[in-house]
A and B are shown apart, each in its own frame.
Chain A
Amino acid sequence: MKHRTFFWFFLPTGLAMVLFIAAPIVSVLIQSVFAPHEAVFRTVENCGPFGCVQETTIDQEATQSLREAQPLGRFVGLDIYLDRGHLAVAEVGAAWANSDSLGAFFDELGDLPFYRAMAFTLTYVFVCTPALIALGLVIALAVNTLTQRLKGLVIFFSLLPMIVTPLVGSLILFWMIDSRGVLGTLIAALADNPDLSLKASTVLMWISIIIYGIWSSAPFAFVVFYAGLQTLPQDQIEAAQIDGATRWQQVRFVIIPHLMPLITFVALIQLMDNFRVFEPILGFNASAHATTLSWIIFNDLGGETRQLSAAAATSVMTITGVAILLSPVLVRTWRDFRGKA
Chain B
Amino acid sequence: MASQARRPSAGLRIATNSFVVIWLILAAFPFLWTLWGSFKVELDFFSIADWTNALTGSNTREAHGSAFTFAGYEGAWVQEEFWRNVINTFIVCFFVVMTSLTIGTLGGYALSRSGFKYVFWLLIIALIFRAMPPITLVAGYMLPFFEWNIWGILPTTIIVLVAINQPFTLWMLHSFFQNIPKELDESAKVDGCTQFQAFRYVIVPVMWPGVITTGLFSFLLAYNDFAVTSMLLSESNRTMIPEIAAFLGTTYTEGNVMFAVAAVVSATAPLFVLVMFFQRQIVSGLTAGAVKG
Residues of A within 8 A of B (CB): 1-3, 5-6, 9-10, 12-14, 16-17, 19-28, 31, 71-72, 138-139, 141-143, 145-146, 152, 154-161, 163-168, 171-173, 175-176, 178, 180-182, 185-186, 215, 219-220, 223-224, 227-228, 231, 237, 241, 247, 261-262, 265-266, 272, 275-276, 278-279, 282, 285, 294, 297-298, 300-302, 306, 308, 311-312, 314-316, 318-319, 322-323, 325-326, 329-330, 333-334, 336-337
A51 to B31, CA, bound (A): 75
Once A163-B282, A330-B127 are accepted as A-B contacts, the answer to whether A21 and B226 lie under 8 Å apart by CB is no
B226 touches A279 (CB 8 A): yes
CB nearest to A266 among chain B residues: B290
Are A301 and B139 CB-contacts (below 8 A) given A12-B103, A247-B12? Answer: yes
Instruction: Offer 30 A-B interface pairs, CB within 8 angstroms, sorted by A.
Output: A6-B114, A16-B159, A17-B126, A20-B163, A21-B163, A21-B164, A25-B136, A31-B139, A142-B20, A145-B13, A154-B24, A155-B283, A157-B27, A172-B34, A182-B33, A185-B47, A223-B283, A224-B286, A227-B283, A228-B291, A272-B131, A297-B139, A301-B138, A301-B139, A308-B143, A319-B132, A326-B131, A333-B123, A334-B124, A336-B293
Beyond the given pairs A21-B163, A166-B226, A228-B291, 4 more chain A to chain B contacts, judged by CB atoms under 8 angstroms and listed by A's residue number, are: A1-B110, A139-B23, A220-B286, A314-B139
Tell whether B10 is near chain A: CB-to-CB under 8 Å: no
- Chain A residues with Cβ under 8 A from B33's Cβ? 176, 182
- Interface membership of chain B positions 117-154, coded 1 if the CB is closer than 8 angstroms to chain A and 0 otherwise: 00010111111110111011111111110010000000
Nearest-Cβ distance from residue A299 to partner chain B, whole angstroms: 11
Min CB distance A83 to B, Å, is 16
Instruction: Evaluate contact between B163 and A160: CB separation under 8 angstroms.
Output: no
Contact: A227 with B290, CB < 8 Å? Answer: yes
Which residues of B (263-283) have their CB < 8 Å from a CB of A?
A: 264, 267-268, 271-272, 274-276, 279, 282-283
Contact present for A13 and B20 (CB under 8 Å): no
* Proximity string of chain B (19-39) to chain A, C-beta cutoff 8 Å, 1 when within and 0 when not: 110011011101101100100
Q: Does B212 contact A (CB under 8 A)?
A: no
Given A10-B107, A172-B34, A181-B46, CB of A165 within 8 Å of CB of B223: yes
Q: Which residues of A contact B291 (CB under 8 A)?
A: 224, 227-228, 231, 262
Q: Is B166 among interface residues, defined by CB-CB distance under 8 A?
A: yes
* Known A266-B290, A276-B135; contact A17-B271, beta-carbon cutoff 8 A: no
Residue in contact with B226 in the complex, picked from A167, A186, A285, CB distance below 8 Å? A167
Q: Given A9-B106, A224-B286, are A337 and B120 also a contact pair (CB < 8 Å)?
A: yes
Whether the Cβ atoms of A156 and B132 lie closer than 8 Å is no
Kindly report which residue of chain B lies nearest to residue A275, judged by CB atoms: B133
CB distance from B10 to the nearest CB of A (A): 13
The residue from B102, B268, B282 contacting A164, defined by CB atoms under 8 A apart: B268
Chain A nearest CB: distance from B183 CB in Å? Answer: 15
| Bound-state Cα–Cα, A247 to B8, Å | 9
Residues of A within 8 Å of B82, CB to CB, are none
Give the residue among A138, A160, A166, A178 with the most B Cβ atoms within 10 A: A160
Indicate which residue in A6, A180, A323, A326 contacts B48 across the interface (CB closer than 8 Å). A180
Residue of B nearest to A17 (CB): B166
Judging by beta carbons under 8 Å apart, are B137 and A20 in contact?
Answer: yes
Which A-chain residue is minimally distant from B189 (CB atoms)?
A1
Q: Which residues of A contact B120 (CB under 8 A)?
A: 337
B67 an interface residue at 8 Å Cβ cutoff?
no
Q: State whether B106 touches A12 (Cβ < 8 A).
A: yes
Residues of the B chain whose Cβ atoms lie less than 8 Å from the Cβ of A2: 195
Nearest CB to that of A181 among chain B residues? B46
Closest chain-B Cβ to A245's Cβ sits at a distance in Å of 11
B224 contacts A165, CB within 8 Å? yes
Smallest CB-CB separation from A241: which chain B residue?
A: B5
A163 and B275 form a contact (CB under 8 A) = yes
A175 adjacent to B34 (CB under 8 Å): yes
Indicate if B57 sits at the interface (CB-CB under 8 A): no
- Closest Cβ–Cβ distance, residue A140 to chain B (whole Å): 11
Contact of B142 among A141, A241, A308 (CB under 8 A): A308
